[in-house]
Structure 1
Amino acid sequence: MTSVDATNAQRAAAPWQRISLAAICVLSGVLYCWGIGGSWGNSYYSAAVKSMSQSFENFFFGSFDPAGVVTVDKPPMALWVQVLSVKVFGFNQFAVLFPQVVAGVGAVFLLHRAVRRWAGEHAALIAALVLALTPITVVINRDNNPDTLLVLLVVAAAYAMTRSFESRKATGWVALAAFLVGCGFLTKMLQAWMVLPAFIAAYLVGSRAGWGRRLLDLGVAAAVVLVGSFWWVVATALWPSPKPYIGGSADGSAWDLVFGYNGFGRIFGGGGGGFQPPSGGLQPPGSSQPPGGGGGFSGSSGVLRLFNEQLAGQISWLLPLCALVLVAMLVAGVRRWRGGRPLDREQAAGWVLWGGWLVVIGVMFSFAQGIMHPYYTTMLAPAVGAIVGAGVVRFWRWYREPQGKAWLLLPVGVAVTVAWAVAIVARDLSWHAWAGYAAAGLGVLALVVLVVGRRGKALARTGLALGLAAALAVPTAWSAIGAVSAQKSMGGANPMAGPETGMRPPGVRFPDAGDGGPPDGQSQDGGQNSVEPGGAEQRPILIVGGMGGGGSLSAEQRKMLDYVQANAGDLDVPLAVEAGSMGASSYIINSDMTVVGMGGFSGGDDAPSVAQLTEWKRTGQLGFVQLGGMGGMPRRDGMGDGAPAGAQPPGGMPGGEVRQERDEWVKQNCTPVDPAAWGGAADTAVQLYRCN
């Protein structure tokens, strides 16, 4: 199919094709929306949404706490959208997560629109269906991490790039794509820029303009990307003090966050605040697992990372088929070039765009040495869908040709895809093994029909339909199970699809939603090196250590909350958490008190500093401080639970010295409260201090 054919096909879409697209969008909406009113998702971000809704400064910076002391560890664009939803629907679980549903369905729709301009309506429908049914995409679109909005923005940018191939004066479309990538940067920083190499190469291949105009357009795009990406970073630097500390940074600035923890730290490891697994991955004491690069959440880095126990069931289902398609198209392109036939620029540009997207980002994720959560891989799903859609259409055309052996590519693609799906399921046959058996049965039937019925049009179409059903059987099952079971890892901070065995590093037990998980590696809030903003009338601040997470209050947290409320007097800020958001999130979500997470998400940020604590106490702003353990979790897995205040878990917690200095200051300057006074257990791992 030529680019002209593809354009004509999308303009002349049949009614059944329009109905099919609507059905796919409805299906994706149901999967993303089912039961979301019963979860806060990632309570870290949900708490920030509540705080951000209380003042413009909190909104602009992305403040984690109502006092505007510390921000979340990402730029705030994804949270801006969630705050707007809360303004419309009120602060509740549905309002926080509903924007994710809209963004997820929007990405499915825009991917269809982009692919149909390149490869036609049939390819576009397959691409949209693949994206809608990718397991990791389903579970992350039911959560409130920023990746959902990031995917929507980069898919929209890909649509703009596809439109740019159709005109000799494409500056506007290229600039729009650049602007959308800039918005992606304000959603998740440098991860959005990963698509740029593919976009640049695709434009150079596909543009109808001369080389001078192409370079001019790319120059304009570069300027738009830089301005769109960094205006917020510059604004935070120029904003007069006092202002929130940028969580996760080493010095409280967004510049450090860009190039440190959320930048090169993700690629090369280290850098930034928050939880950082050791270079060999997160391992239990005494583990004999050989060391390797990368964080423990996605296994060791390397060529086969996307196919390992943690990631295979999230995104790899169709990667073997993608590889087969790309190799086949490369061979076909070389043969076309050697035969002296002219290059179809728009078609070639599409393959460069989506193939480059998949290869570049796949390589980056495979070899990243820093923290790598499985849900990051949702960014691969649009490219997988586009390549599979266009590839299946191309394979079908070759399959129907009477001569040559290229017809074998379609049945081979089905066989390889089904075999890999069965292999993934076989890793844990105790978890819905029926899906693998169903895929195998459909696959065998599809192969028989494709081989026997090649000459018959109706039978061949039946074989194609069976092949698609077999290829998508297990991903569909895992997506549906992920939607209805609400299975989460680490309280919504590390959502994953599939069996529990793939959700955590071997031998390590992390508590789930509601019982106080350890840090998720998404670096953390920080505090503020100045008194609370808000003018001359300063408010006293209570700072407490964490007990739990997941968005709900435990019985012990509720007792402490009641005690603080009864004894805070006229204090305006009666609660906050040492060691960060693991406990502070629940307090912020479930009360109207101002809560400050001391030390950011995991307690590693130098905020508030000891000097700030001293100033707060001198001016009578500091109310209570709670210390103890790693967020005050009950002892379960040896990760420092129940340890004395300031103790660090195995594997290293950046900022441990900073936290210990704060803890020592609290012990020297504040008075401990008997746990019996507030209803705490005799063996509780936390200690409440009164500082006012």
Structure 2
Amino acid sequence: MTTLAPPPAPSREDGPRHRAAPPADGAGSGLAARARRLFTGAPDDPRWARPALWAILVLATALYAWNLSSITGNTFYDAAVYSGTRSWKAFFFGALDAGSFITVDKPPFALWVMGLSARVFGYGTWQLMLPMVAVGVGSVALLHRLVKRDFGPVAATIAALALTLTPITVAITRDTNPDPVLVFLMLLGAAALLKAVRTGRLLPLVWSGVAIGFAFNTKMMQAYVVLPAFFLVYLWAANASLGRRIRNLAVGTVALVVSSAWWMVVVDLIPASSRPYIGGSTDNTVWDLVIGYNGFGRIFGASSSVGSQGNGASFGGEAGLYRLFNEIMGGQISWLIPFAAIALVAGLVLRGRAPRTDARRAALLLWGGWFVFHYLTFALAEGTFHPYYVTAMAPGVAALAGAGGVMLYQAFREGPAAKWSWVLPAAIAASAVWAVVLLQRVSGSGTLYTVAEIVVAALGALSVLGLLAGRFTRRHRLMGVAALAAVVALLAGPAAYSVSAATSSTNGTNPTAGPSTGGGMGGGQRPSGDGGPGGTTGDTNSSGSTASGSTGVPPSGTAPSASGSGTESAESGTDTSRTGGGGGMGGGSQVSSAMITYLKKHQDGATWLVAVATDQTASSIILESGQPVISMGGWSGSDNAMTLAKLKSLVKSGKLRYIVVGDSGQGSSNTEISTWVKKHGTAVSDYSGLYRLDASDVG
């Protein structure tokens, strides 16, 4: 078996950038020169490179920020951000309510980012979206820089454009879920790691660990999916002796652990009576949340997490290697996966004889590992799984499409062996055919998708034929035009989905791009919630009230005023009803705008406006009323955040006067509370399920 030699050194336009020596007169240094390079690029870059980058960044900004007023954020996180603007304690813990009764089921870093924006500019849609758009565009710029460093401006441009047009990335960046922050931090970690690999120095590796630690404090264990690739790439390719590599990895791991665990350790050391209940946990500790609900529970299912669904099939399809290609997930992420997979394998073969420290192979291993580990995690996870999780995989796919595509093109055009003449056309054909399949699934959904299908089929075929004709006639210009046609063909489908996501209102709890493709709950129907089976929007009856038993929530447009004062609700006189959900503690009872008005009028100095069953109900009331609201059962209604003893204490101290209860229970604690409230409380006759409790009611 022979190993293929790497292709000839890349040309100025295709290969990695080689810095030109600064002019002797110093004209290439200084602030003015740096400012010029910001807009024009490095002296040895082709003239089109920097304008192309700026055009992509403008496109990304337009897609992520278009018509901000129509964006419906995740009400769950919106409420927590709002509460953090009212209380620094709620800000630090990531509490759902300003009274700090219970936290959201994620660590608070993304909430801090949005919360600081809201504290500076006031609370409102664009204030929360500003940092999300910024990190989304920043991720595109950062990926461009990383790919350009090792593979040149052509590869970087393709990678940046592919990431920009990844449909699920557009959808989730137009939202207040934490995933865009997670992706940006992971890319910062990758940038530092690649620098550590090139230089062999310790400090960049430490910064890589710190970046992933902050990512952990954004979305916990999901941040660690890239770690196997990070460790393996550094251990194999770093420019240092084996002993030094091992020592540096040990120090970097310490930095990772410290930056990951500090918030968790601080919170768990604080007495439970002095902090909020940890939402999503079974024992009121962050550690349990890490290893259970947001850890093994996501991989293995409900046995390790409170209230999560068994195999997550209602959101992203059945677990299995085909999941990311199914009717729910395919249009969100899979467009370039065939091309990326072929490019990864071929690229590694092409670098077969390169030295151990070869920067290109190290980068391929990093992006390939990023792609493969994410793919396996998302495809095989049997716990709660939402389509937007896969935005974390998008940088790996995009980088492989750009870097691997350029390597394949170089081998195709200049390789000495005819055996390479089929690889690039085959990769293009595979992804083009798959794109046609995806677009056929939504045929009839609109002219945009029909046009995209025609473009993919026509340009895909022409690009393959043009490449082959150019190869055998040695006409390089024809090959270049055909390669450009391939880029357009392979990005036409994602572009159609991305435009759709940017020009329509986003479902804040489970954002997806493109038209519905059916497939049951989650099959393009945008099911809600990031924590369990609750949160699906119910049908509304003729009066406008949400049907009993559902958990419909209002758009963030009904949030407190954009100034962030939170003193008045957005009361329009319409009856935007919500349900308690969660069984005994508010299950099946409606919470209407009229009830909220009544509660505010009769709050009588209580800390919390009302206690309800679930986070969904509490968050929507918080945003409408501007007042703290207790979620007694967390996301699914089954958290043990409220006990009868705690309820009596809050009532006796005057901190809580109203509670919404239903007719059935989800456990002994809920049933006990519901029974006691109905026995000792005073029913408010105008509002079903609402009870008033006073200190005299507590024996």
| TM-score, with structure 1 as normaliser | 0.84
Distance 1:133 1:349, change over 3 A: same
Contact 2:388 2:510 in 1 (8 A): yes
| Alignment partner, residue 46 of structure 1 | 78
Secondary structure of 2:422's counterpart equals: helix
CA contact (8 A) 1:257 1:272 kept: no
Q: The residue matched to 1:234 in structure 2 has which SS? A: helix
Q: Does the Cα contact within 8 Å between 1:160 and 1:177 map onto a contact in 2?
A: yes
The answer on whether the counterparts of 1:275 and 1:520 sit within 8 Å (CA) in structure 2 is no
**Do the aligned partners of 1:150 and 1:184 also contact (CA within 8 Å) in 2?**
yes
Moved more, 452-461 or 581-590: 452-461
Q: Distance in 2 between matches of 1:483 and 1:202?
A: 36
* Partner residue, 1:8: 18
Asked whether the equivalents of residues 213 and 256 of structure 2 are also in contact (C-alpha less than 8 Å), the reply is: yes
Q: Which residue of 2 aligns with 1:126?
A: 158
In the alignment, the residues of structure 2 paired with residue 389 and residue 131 of structure 1 have an alpha-carbon distance, to the nearest angstrom, of 10
Name the amino acid aligned to 1:193: Y
Q: Does 1:298 align with 2:316?
A: yes
* 1:188 match: 219
Report Cα offsets for 1:514-549 as digits up to 9, x if no partner.
Answer: xxx764435999xxxxxxxxxxxxxxxxxxx96634
CA separation in 2, counterparts of 1:406 and 1:509?
Answer: 40
Assess, with a 3 A threshold, how the Cα gap between structure 1 residues 671 and 272 changes in structure 2: closer, same or farther: farther
**Partner residue of 2:489?**
470
Q: What is the letter of the counterpart of residue 77 of structure 2?
A: Y
Q: Does the residue aligned with 1:625 lie in a helix, a strand or coil?
A: strand
Aligned twin of 1:425: 439
Indicate the residue corresponding to 2:135 in structure 1.
103
Partner residue in 2 for 1:59: 91
AA of the residue aligned to 1:306: L
The equivalent of 1:23 in structure 2 is: 55
2:600 to 565, 579, 584: 565
1:590 partner letter: E
TM superposition shift of 1:456: 1.9
Residue 496, structure 1, aligned to residue 512, structure 2: yes
Pair 1:36 & 2:68 matched: yes
Task: Give the superposition deviation at 1:184.
Answer: 0.5
Give the unaligned 5+ runs of structure 1. 280-293, 526-544, 629-643, 647-654, 679-685
Q: 2:454 aligns with which of 425, 431, 437?
A: 437
> In the alignment, what sits opposite 1:555?
576
Q: Spell out the pairing of 1:284-363 with structure 2 (5 A cutoff).
A: 294-333=312-351, 336-337=352-353, 342-343=355-356, 345-363=358-376
Change (3 A) 1:623 1:297: same
Residue 92 of structure 2 aligns to which amino acid in structure 1? F
Taking a change above 3 Å as real, the CA distance of residues 343 and 182 of structure 1, as seen in their structure-2 partners, is closer
Alpha-carbon offset, residue 565 of structure 1: 2.1
- Whether the 8 Å contact between 2:105 and 2:531 is mirrored in structure 1 is no
Contact 1:546 1:577 in 2 (8 A): no
Larger deviation, residues 558-567 vs 178-187 = 558-567
Q: Distance in 2 between matches of 1:115 and 1:519?
A: 35
For residues 524 and 308 of structure 2, what CA distance do their matches in structure 1 show? 17
Corresponding residue SS for 1:485 = coil
Q: Which residue of 2 aligns with 1:220?
A: 251
Matches within 5 A, 1:276-291: 276-279=308-311
- Give the Cα–Cα distance (whole angstroms) in 2 for the partners of residues 191 and 577 of structure 1: 30
Could you tell me whether the CA contact under 8 Å between 1:373 and 1:494 is conserved in 2?
yes
- 8 Å CA contact 1:204–1:214 kept in 2: the answer is yes
Q: Give the C-alpha shift of residue 645 in structure 1.
A: 4.2
Question: Which residue is equivalent to 2:111?
Answer: 79
Compared with structure 1, are the counterparts of its residues 570 and 199 closer, same or farther at alpha carbon in structure 2 (3 Å cutoff)?
closer
Contact 2:74 2:175 (8 Å CA) reproduced: yes
Query: 2:643 maps to which residue?
Result: 609
Tell me which residue corresponds to 1:640. Answer: none
Q: CA deviation at 1:174?
A: 0.6
- 1:248/1:524 contact within 8 Å kept: no
Q: 1:114 and 1:460 mapped to 2: Cα distance?
A: 26
Kindly report which structure 2 residues correspond to 1:105-254, keeping only aligned pairs within 5 A, or say none. Answer: 105-168=137-200, 170-240=201-271, 241-254=273-286
Choose from 610, 622, 626 the match for 2:656: 622
CA contact (8 A) 1:310 1:502 kept: yes
- Which residue is equivalent to 1:448? 465
- TM-superposition CA deviations, 1:288-336 (whole Å, max 9, x none): xxxxxx4421111111111111111111111111111122234334xx4
Distance 1:22 1:502, change over 3 A: farther
**Partner of 1:479 in structure 2?**
498
User: 1:288 aligns to what?
Assistant: none
Please give the secondary structure, in 1, of the residue aligned with 2:659.
strand
Segments of 5+ residues of structure 2 without an aligned counterpart are 1-7, 20-40, 536-549, 559-570, 578-591, 695-699
Instruction: Find the aligned partners of 1:103 and 1:114 in 2 and give their Cα distance.
Output: 16
Q: Which amino acid is the alignment partner of residue 345 of structure 2?
A: V
Distance 2:183 2:9 in 1: 28
Residues 397-439 of structure 1 deviation map (CA, whole Å, 9 limit, x = unaligned) = 1221265131222222221111001111222322234122221
- CA apart distance, 1:166: 2.1
Question: Could you say if the C-alpha distance between residues 582 and 65 of structure 1 is closer, same or farther in structure 2, counting changes exceeding 3 Å?
Answer: same
CA deviation map 1:244-268 (0-9, x unaligned):
1111000111011111101111111
Q: Secondary structure at the match of 1:500?
A: coil
Please, which moves more after superposition, 6-15 or 205-214?
6-15
- Report the alpha carbon displacement of residue 2 of structure 1 after superposing the two structures with TM: 6.2
State the Cα distance separating 1:185 from its structure 2 match: 0.5
Amino acid at match of 1:667: K
1:369 and 2:385 equivalent? no
Could you say if the C-alpha distance between residues 503 and 137 of structure 1 is closer, same or farther in structure 2, counting changes exceeding 3 Å? farther
Which residue does the alignment assign to 1:690?
692
2:630 to 588, 593, 596: 596
Aligned position for 1:533? none
Cα distance in 2 between the residues matched to 1:26 and 1:119 = 23
- CA distances 1:485-511 after superposition (whole Å, capped 9, x unpaired): 1242xxx111111222358527x997x
- Percentage of identical aligned residues: 40
How far is 1:43 from its partner? 0.4
SS in 1 for 2:113: helix
Measure the CA separation in 2 of the matches of 1:274 and 1:32.
Answer: 33
Cα distance per residue 1:367-404 (max 9 Å; x no partner): 11111111110011000011111111011112212651
Partners of 1:614 and 1:509 lie apart in 2 by 44
- Of stretches 550-559 and 411-420 in structure 1, the one that deviates more from structure 2 is 550-559
Match of 1:637 in 2: none
Measured after TM superposition, the shift of residue 206 of structure 1 is: 1.9
Give the CA RMSD over aligned residues.
Answer: 2.5
For 2:624 and 2:513, the matched residues in 1 are separated by 28
Cα distance change, pair 567–55 in 1 and its aligned pair in 2 (3 A):
closer
The residue identity in structure 2 corresponding to 1:363 is: L
Provide the C-alpha distance between the structure 2 equivalents of 1:224 and 1:576, rounded to a whole number of angstroms. Answer: 41
What corresponds to 2:5 in structure 1?
Answer: none
What whole-Å deviation, never above 9, does each CA across 1:127-157 have from its counterpart, x for those lacking one? 1111111000000001111111000001111
C-alpha distance 204-568 of structure 1, shift in aligned 2 (>3 A)? closer
CA–CA distance in 1 between the matches of 2:162 and 2:518?
22
What TM-score comes out, normalization by structure 2 length?
A: 0.83
SS in structure 2 of the partner of residue 110 of structure 1: helix
- Corresponding residue number in structure 2 for 1:282: none
Amino acid in structure 1 at the alignment position of 2:516: E
- For the structure 1 residues 409 and 656, does the alpha-carbon distance in structure 2 shift closer, same or farther, using more than 3 Å as the test? farther
Give 3-state SS (helix, strand or coil) of 1:165's partner. Answer: helix
Deviation at 1:460, TM superposition (A): 1.7
Query: Aligned partners of 1:202 and 1:602: how far apart in 2?
Result: 40
